[in-house]
Amino acid sequence: MDDLSKSSMKFFSDQQLCFADILLPHEVQARIQVAVLNFLKILSSPDPAISDLPLINRKSSNSRVSEGILTDVSWIFLSHSFCSRSLMKANATKAFIRVWKVMEMCFEFLTQEKRVTQRELFYKLLCDSPHYFSSQLQVNRTIQELCAKDVVALLRCSRHSLGIMASSKGLVAGHILLQEPNQEVVDCSACGSSGYAISGDLNLLESLIMKTDARYIVVVEKHAIFQRLAEDHVFNQIPSILLTAKGYPDIATRFLLHRMSRAFPDLPILALVDWNPAGLAILSTYKFGSIGMGLEAYRYACNVKWLGLRGDDLQLIPQQSLAPLKPRDLQIARSLISSTTLRDNYRQELAVMMQSGQRAEIEALYFNGYDYLGKYLAKKIVQANYI
């Protein structure tokens, strides 16, 4: 009971520093039960006010903390105003009901100690409550309402705590041996160009036994580049581990990278991304966590350094491989610039990008020959040319 009250007290802390907790199944179940009890309490009160129900309007400026049913512990309901209109529309009521349906289903999974992916959860909800669920997007949004929507979330626990497995796009290759408990050891340098697929199950990733003789970890933005580097066995020329999330990194890939950085603290982590705001955004996500994407993502930040492509590398590629920045690039750039976590030298690179109005992809290096990429990588690493 002590732990429960302590964890509940945390919700009271500074609203600016909100994060989603990693909880044990019975703790999450307890939160679900309290959510239901609170809802019933509101419904059965003499003056049931819809405006006291959360989940509907989500502006941090409107959030307040309300008393929970456990008198010595304050609960995490952040109540919202301007709700009386929303429940009038059929869509809003369905969205409201969806939250309870998802909680119900997750409660069952927690009891069975089962883990599911968001897709599997969708199949079950589709068949169990066909009237309320018809698309994956609805399920994803509902989970966000429960776990991680700005400063407002009903249960305020991580998706992982709810029993929802991430699906992962990540791959690993190179000088590292991975072993799942009671399974065979996988040598990632012998996995071919496809590498070792990173599981979405964080528990499994937590239990992986890792051994390495590498000197560097190279995080690659794009799958094609990862494949090329793996095929060319670049990790043999310079003993290294290659990792990619095939674009914007998912939780599982970041989790594994974080584990690697703690297990092998002497290995510099170097990022190879395209020279455009999206590349820098990807790098920043590995570095700091998701910018503005929710409460959970701060957790697996790593000290990743920017190897390339950078402004200095532009002299290595032909003029014609530079392309104009798209409106989306500018949008990303603006949000990066406004972020307080961006370092000065990164800010400078971003400024050059925006000023030139151009972008370049890593593939542009192939202009100098298909094996140039490996040489480029080796040279930069040896010269410690990363920021």
- Residues near another protein, by CB under 8 A: 119-120, 122-128, 130, 134-135
Q: Minimum Å distance from CB 37 to another protein?
A: 26
Catalytic (active site) residue 248:
no
Pairing of strands 176-179, 209-212: antiparallel
Estimate the crossing angle of helix 277-288 against helix 344-356, to 10 degrees. 160
200, 166 Cβ separation under 8 angstroms: yes
288, 341 Cβ separation under 8 angstroms: yes
369, 316 Cβ separation under 8 angstroms: no
Q: Minimum Å distance from CB 123 to another protein?
A: 5
Q: Of 246 and 259, which has the nearer Cβ to another protein? A: 246
Q: Minimum Å distance from CB 246 to another protein?
A: 16
Q: Minimum Å distance from CB 310 to another protein?
A: 38
Q: Of 124 and 149, which has the nearer Cβ to another protein? A: 124
Phi, psi of 177 (to 5 degrees): -110, 130
Q: Minimum Å distance from CB 33 to another protein?
A: 22
Q: Which of 123, 248, 298, 366 is catalytic?
A: 123
Q: Of 120 and 187, which has the nearer Cβ to another protein? A: 120
Phi, psi of 250 (to 5 degrees): -90, 165
Q: Of 97 and 291, which has the nearer Cβ to another protein? A: 97
Q: Of 138 and 285, which has the nearer Cβ to another protein? A: 138
Residues belonging to the active site: 123
